[in-house]
Structure 1
């Protein structure tokens, strides 16, 4: 019997690795990059993509975030037809955009619209880093600026969730122009008495962090989010100093007064809806 046991073990060991992998359906499990534990994807999704073991905040898609925050049946999407062109004739840019559309089901790196949160109406923009790393091109800037302007017209608050690698290099200076365009739209909204809440998620960097992401009436972030303009190595080489280990994290920015609060994802809806309720009258433009 012992001989049979070892012969069976040997036979099993000889099964090709590719064949053995087929026993586990692809995409069923996900490994946490922080604690390295493995969970069922469904389990993570039910927990708002927060690791049940270490509370690491995995990235959410734009529509997952919308579903988690807003009242069912109240979401109205705006400007879905606005898409990027190729003004500079950048090689293979349009092909890459089409590939991202098929992969993500999005037309661009941001979803804008209005919805209700605990019965309180608000306009919003939610960026999605799966689409061109959430980079800001002309279409992204236009959609955000239009959403802010519409919030002003409707006399409702504006909430933005940022997730971006910065300006989109394939659009050159046209991409950089979106920093000023969105900032001016927000300034006009502010002058009219509008309430803007910015929530920075991982990562929020480059031109996005240097423009609309940082100029809300309230500036929040999710735990562990990378937030900054230039990369860590570039800064260290420029100032010739070693930076703190937690540099450019949400917690570091909170410690140095650049954020109002770091909010755990499970608490996000409660905090935002409370603020919307508190400002229900004071935030209305005259």
Structure 2
């Protein structure tokens, strides 16, 4: 497949419709109006509070990720417009340590939601994550409650929140803000889960369906509301926002 053709089609195969992974920078271009993006808290970066070391020091792993991706952490947050409608948008990037949710990811998303609440604008979060970042221990897990609390205050003002679940959306992200939306949207055939397939099979000692933990399976069982191809995502979100504003 010619890569320019793939890029023009939002990294979706024109023949089989497979959705290839894409970066947070590409997502900004795909979802928001041209030149409308205004980054928020772009200078926040993780530290190593626990002095964690596995195969390499966590601090060294962070520096490698910053060099490789050009990002300071696994999410970009900011404001923009979708066909003229103002929105606050958080976009997770799986390239940065599997999109794992550490203290900076939680802080940036919480601040984004608080800004959206004060401005009375919708929140959109594009989820792509392996879950909580184990290198930060409890500091990572507490972000689940912090983000969820900010979303509750946003909801109390009767403002809309749209999570968009991409492949993969797993672990603590699924167990918190990814499933708290007014309308939960997913890309086709996305992996959406809390525990891994093998863990569940070994726990319940049963084989699971082949399409288990896909967006289609979750839609069939009522866990998500819409499955929207990436090529139609902007127009469909605009329709939802127009319905909300009218």
The farther-off stretch of 255-264 and 271-280 is 271-280
Instruction: Write out the 4+ residue segments of structure 1 that deviate beyond 3 Å after TM superposition.
Output: none
- In the superposition, the TM-score normalised over structure 1's length comes to 0.84
**Residue 41 (structure 1) shift:** 2.0
SS in 2 for 1:271: helix
Distance 1:133 1:43 in 2: 27
Any unmatched runs of 5+ in structure 2? none
Hey, what does 2:182 align to over in structure 1? 217
2:45 to 83, 90, 112: 83
Answering whether residue 2 of structure 2 is matched by residue 40 of structure 1, we say yes
SS in 2 for 1:218: coil
Hey, what does 1:178 align to over in structure 2? 143
Larger radius of gyration: 1
2:95 to 95, 116, 130: 130
1:201 to 159, 162, 166: 166
Map Cα deviations across residues 97-142 of structure 1 (whole Å, 9 max, x no partner).
Answer: 1111111111110000000100100001000000000000000000
Hey, what does 1:10 align to over in structure 2? none
Distance 2:27 2:97 in 1: 18
**Residue 40 (structure 1) shift:** 2.4
* Number of matched pairs: 243
1:101 to 59, 66, 84: 66
Hey, what does 2:152 align to over in structure 1? 187
Hey, what does 1:153 align to over in structure 2? 118
**Residue 53 (structure 1) shift:** 1.7
Distance 2:43 2:178 in 1: 24
Hey, what does 1:251 align to over in structure 2? 216
| RMSD between aligned residues | 0.8
Map Cα deviations across residues 119-177 of structure 1 (whole Å, 9 max, x no partner).
Answer: 10000100000000000000000000000000000110000100000000100011000
